[in-house]
Structures are given as C-alpha cells and as structure tokens.
Amino acid sequence: MKGMLLRMGAIALGFISISLASPPAFAGVIYFGGAPNQEVTSAQYPPYAVLMSFTLAPGTNVVTGAEWYGSCGSTACGPSPQFTIAIYTDDDGLPGAALLIRKVGSADQTAIGNDEYSYSVTFPSKTLTPGTPYLFGVYVTAASEPTWGIEQTSKAPPGATAAHFDMTVSEDWSLIPENLAFNLTGPGGVIPEPPTWAMMLMGFAGLGFLGHRRTVRARVGV
C-alpha cells in the first residue's frame, strides 16, 4: 500500500511540475481585427494612409508582423503595392507618438479567392503594453492598379475605429465610419526562465525515478 502511494505521489508531482512549468505558448495571430468583406474596399489608391485601432490582450505584448487585405474590385490585381507600416499611440482615434515606422515595400501578396488578396509582412519585434490602445497604420506609396483598395470588415472587435489620410486631398487625419480588416502576429512561443526550467526538470526527474523503480522491480521479479 505504501509503495502504491509513493508511486501515485511521484506521478502527481511529475505531471503537476511539468504542467505548471509549461509556458503559455502562442503562435501566429495575437490580434484579430476582423475577416474581410468580399470586394468591399476603402481608401483606394492613389497615395493614402489608413490607421486601425487595436488593443493587445495580456500575455501578447510582442508584435512581429501584420496582415491586411486588399482588392482591385472585380478584376485581378497585378503586383503588390508598395507599403510602409507604422504603429502609433492612440490619441482619441488619431495618431499620437510614432512607435514604429518601417518601409516594407512589396508585401507577401496571396490570392484568397473572389479577386481578394491578403498582404503580410514581418518586422523587428516591437514590445507593447497589453490593455493599452494603439493604432496600426498602412501607407500605400505606389500601386500597379488604380482601383486597389484595402478591404473593410463588418466583424471588427467592439469599439474598433479607423482613420484615413488622403495625401492628395488634405493634410489631416479624419475618422472614417468603416472598419478595416487586419491581423497582428507575434512570436511562436516564449523561452522558459530558470525557475521554469527547474520545475520542468523536477517533474521529469520524478517520472524518471518512478520508471527506474519499476525497472528494478521487474529485474528482481525475474
């Protein structure tokens, strides 16, 4: 009876240590701004910029990439437009301090059907504060198709806003009623800290000790 209790305790200790030590890994999308509406675009080329609001959830404070959507109406698009992306603090829906401005050029343009395309880029990691509102900006500096526009979404998170800057008409940002589809991506996991490694090793040691005891008993039985 005592041996059985010891074995059960070793198993419990091992699995508890491993489960507590395992980091909350996440991969891919860390902020989902809504799926694109089919062929419903906003802020078309020539040169313009758009901003979309976002707030990261706890534990998803590192941004390393972005994805948005575009269309040339009812026709297929040519090569990817040239983009610059940015992240700003949110000043009542308008850009505050610039935290990241990066010229990315041609994005990874992928056809997703219905003459729609996704555009994705990666950039050096930017650490933000979860729960704090920010603005993600997409600047179009050149496009092969004059009808190219960024896709709208009707499934944006509650409270989401968007702003538009038409470089050919005005010099001021203005809020727009539409929400624009985009996602932000983050790293594929986190690196365990030393205390985490210690708990994981404790768990594996407990399971290893139990396996060793079973092996010894099996040999004695033989």
Rounded CA-CA distance 170/20 in Å is: 55
What are the pLDDT digits (tens) for 5-56?
445 444 444 544 444 444 444 458 999 999 998 767 776 665 678 899 999 9
Locus of tokens 């407990």: 206
- DSSP state at residue 191: P
In this structure, are residues 44 and 147 in contact, taking their beta carbons and an 8 Å threshold? yes
Residue, of 2 and 55, whose pLDDT is higher: 55
pLDDT tens, position by position, 108-160: 999 998 888 999 999 999 999 999 999 999 988 887 777 788 899 999 999 99
Query: Can you list the positions of beta strands (E) in 169-213?
Result: 174-176, 179-180, 182-186
> CB–CB of 167/43 below 8 Å?
no
Q: Which domains does the chain have, with CATH numbers?
A: 31-184 (2.60.120)
